[in-house]
A and B are shown apart, each in its own frame.
Chain A
């Protein structure tokens, strides 16, 4: 599948989608941490962002500089149509996989 994404990329895509107009490095990480309860390193987030953008699943613009960032601009991302499709198809694929799965009781198997 051409538009398949790995799990960090999937999380990043969804975080960007949730964040609307405010998706940049810091908020994306926070969003993943808050909702997926996963801690992802800065480098991993940028790596995922760059790969997703390279595949045109994300696009970006630069914001105006702010003082708390030492006068630096943000790179704000938004989902492209292809990005939305990729997120959807990943979800569908995972749901199909879940269909009919019965897992053993977590405590007993441990």
Chain B
């Protein structure tokens, strides 16, 4: 029975003593383990090791050569002086608890913030996903250079997924990659036992799992003939579905799971660590996998529903690789109009996360720097205050090393406490960082503190306190310390004070940078929240209903279902109006469509006009509060068998019918002709900060696809209160239907600004902490300076100086450092705020208002801190001050 850490412990024992001491320890550990149990024996062992190390460290510090007998004897004397130092340090801390609390608190805040943020940065940006040779995985996209600069299509031009035939061409023709694969994403309803739920279902080519190097936990992955048209209905379960819906049973293989009403035979289960997601928006992982083609969806060349992934073994990716892929994708049809983009998959996954996270990291770094500077100032102040004590101890015979050692012990005790506090804060901080992060950032749940990060933070904290705790020791040169201290006293004092003020100034510089950053982000956020999205989101509730294709096989059946659902929902007390749409603004859903204007057809070789497309139920515009500008909106009679009607947005009219004669014009789409019957005002759909995009709306009851719909309910009570009744109403009609994403529409809007709020909130938090630290630093330094001038102050008060004048003098003395710091910070902030530009909306990075407020705030804080310290001293009774001397 080997005790914990035995190998490591054994190495710490002097070689001559190693054998018998290690033997004794192991023997006794074994006895205790048998009688008291493993945990108790382990505790005993570690306690003994700790006791032995105390002896040893003591011996080393006592200069006795590290203890001649490994774990022991020489240590005794060293330990006693070390013990003295520790006791002395503890007493010193008790005497000045303020100093101790400031150092520990400052270090804890700095280390806590830096560790928490770095833990997340490390996990999200630096660590690759847990696949073998994950650095070789690349994301592959189609690119359509034609789409660049297009008002609707530009955001997508270099991120176009594959269609299955394109994938086949690519797989057959490519020579650059070790292997290639595609995967898609559908939401499907799982039925059977329990409430029906929508699952995120992955569609995988047979090559995907081998490419990832992923072995299933149970069963097998897809075989090479299990993909494409008519692929067999087989499924691989994600670990959580296996656990939650199948009770983690080992005999699950061969049984079936019903997806959208169709049975799929389970052939495998993935291991819990399998984490893989669709890179496009909205997906945070998959619940179940089925083969490409097995969902019965179209696999034609135009259905770009699959993201590409490949394994590239050659290190940096040469442009020829993308060229080859682009050539294969282009085929004959589109010479020069198709390309490909090949990028490391991890870069692509963190594309939207990197910027915001690095910004927060930089802010945490500034805060940590500020904390170090603050600690330095605090230690320096304390040393200056203790000249007398050190001189006395030297006079009583304490050697230079002894004094240095004592300084080191004090610094280590404070540093250690600071690190402990910092780690506690970091633990909480990581949880908060992740819990409050918007979903778009894809921060993984359950991130613990990483040992490497922990080690780094601990080293940083201890080093900071040691360096700044010992720095004053550099003033102690060889020879007669006492005389030196006395002689150098004046010089030390003035030099030290100057340095201390520089440190305070530096804190203000750092604070200003954080304040400016937080201010700019806050102003930008306010500007975004001020934008009118074009509809009224208050008291609106929305939810999704998807109809399984087998139970609702025809479009009239689907229309009938939704019409009856709307009717029943409207009967709920508290409901004003009900409507529905294929996609709501800010839901991340919905697509665009090309069309032709009848009478203005463009030739095949040219790009057809393109606009966003939504299918909506009657009452949609009224329910959302979108104003009708001209013509009419949809009515119940806009259904199958009646002339197709379309309503367009103001921007669409302005773009294609600048003379305002859109009403009555006709557009052609899906080989059908649609007459424009109305023009409505614009609505922002994806981004608050963008321009409205041309949009057209068609009636749901004339649409080709009616399987799923987002229903919207305008209420005159608090929307959330109606949620249970809404679910009941749906299940009254059909109990097998899942009611998904039931939420307030305002929440969708809030989500759109969530990343901005997250950034602004974190920076504001750091700025407040920084300003507080700077204020505390100023207060500490000023009051300590003044304590040494109490005698002078006392005499001056006794001679009749007005306290007000004294206070004024003190504050004037501190002001230059403060303003120099602010000026320095201003200079740096002016240059560095440029980096914030990509995050700012409607606020220039040199916004004078933000700078003005930050400077005023910081100046006021600093002066108040100095004032407070000065008042404390000026209120002292002069007689008592003089007597005390």
> Contacts A43-B71, A46-B73 given: A26-B22 contact, CB under 8 Å?
no
CA distance in complex: A21, B22 (Å): 20
Q: Does A62 contact B (CB under 8 A)?
A: yes
Measured CB to CB, the closest approach of chain B to A50, in angstroms, equals 3
| Contact status A47-B55, CB under 8 Å | yes
Q: Quick check: B24 and A70 within 8 Å, CB to CB?
A: no
- The chain B residue with its CB closest to the CB of A41 is B51
A73: interface (CB < 8 Å): yes
Residue of B nearest to A28 (CB): B24
* A10 contacts partner chain B, Cβ-Cβ < 8 Å: no
Given contacts A41-B48, A42-B52, contact A24 B20 (CB under 8 A): yes
Residues of B within 8 A of A50 (CB): 68-69, 72-74
Do A72 and B51 have beta carbons less than 8 Å apart? no
CB distance from B555 to the nearest CB of A (A): 78
Which residues of A in the span 45-83 have a Cβ within 8 Å of any Cβ on B? 46-51, 54, 62, 65-66, 68-70, 72-75
Number of interface residues of B (CB under 8 A): 30
Complex formed: what's the CA distance from A68 to B3 in Å? 12
Once the chains bind, are B52 and A75 in contact (CB under 8 Å)? Answer: no
- Check A46–B72 contact: CB distance below 8 A: yes
B residues in contact with A70, CB < 8 Å: 2, 6, 22-23, 26
Q: Does B28 belong to the interface (CB within 8 Å)?
A: yes
Chain A residues whose C-beta falls within 8 Å of the C-beta of B26 in the assembled complex? 68-70, 72
Whether A74 lies near B24 (C-beta < 8 A) is yes
One of B19, B31, B55 near A43 (C-beta < 8 A): B55
CB distance from A4 to the nearest CB of B (A): 16
Bound Cα distance A54, B26 (Å):
26
Report how far A43 CA is from B49 CA in the complex, Å: 8
Report B21 CB to chain A, min CB distance, Å.
Answer: 7
A49 to B31, CA, bound (A): 22
Is B72 in contact with A74, judged by CB distance below 8 angstroms?
Answer: no
Which of A41, A43, A47, A68 has the most chain B CB atoms inside 10 A of its CB?
A: A43
Chain A min CB distance to B81 (Å): 15
Chain A residues within 8 Å of chain B by Cβ, number? 25
CB distance from A9 to the nearest CB of B (A): 11
Given A43-B52, A43-B55, A68-B30, check contact A25 B24 (CB 8 Å): yes
**Cβ contact within 8 Å between B25 and A42:** yes
In the bound complex, how far is the Cα of B74 from the Cα of A49, in angstroms?
11
CB neighbours (8 Å) of A29 from chain B are: 28
Known: A24-B24, A26-B28, A47-B72. A41 touches B19 (CB 8 A): no
How close is A13's CB to chain B, nearest CB, in angstroms?
15
Residues in A neighbouring B344, C-beta threshold 8 A = none
Establish whether residues A25 and B21, one from each chain, have CB atoms under 8 Å apart when the complex forms: yes
Name A51's contact: one of B6, B22, B27, B73 (CB within 8 Å). Answer: B73
The 8 Å CB contact of A69, one of B23, B48, B68, is B23
Chain B positions near chain A (C-beta within 8 angstroms):
2, 6, 17, 19-28, 30-31, 47-48, 51-52, 54-55, 68-76
What are the 9 closest A-B residue pairs judged by CB atoms, nearest first?
Answer: A72-B23, A50-B73, A25-B24, A69-B23, A75-B20, A43-B52, A46-B72, A47-B73, A47-B72
Q: List 30 A-B contacts (CB under 8 A).
A: A24-B20, A25-B28, A26-B31, A29-B28, A41-B48, A42-B24, A42-B28, A42-B48, A42-B52, A43-B48, A43-B51, A43-B52, A43-B75, A44-B72, A46-B17, A46-B21, A46-B70, A47-B75, A47-B76, A48-B73, A49-B73, A50-B72, A50-B73, A51-B76, A54-B73, A69-B24, A70-B2, A72-B20, A72-B23, A75-B20
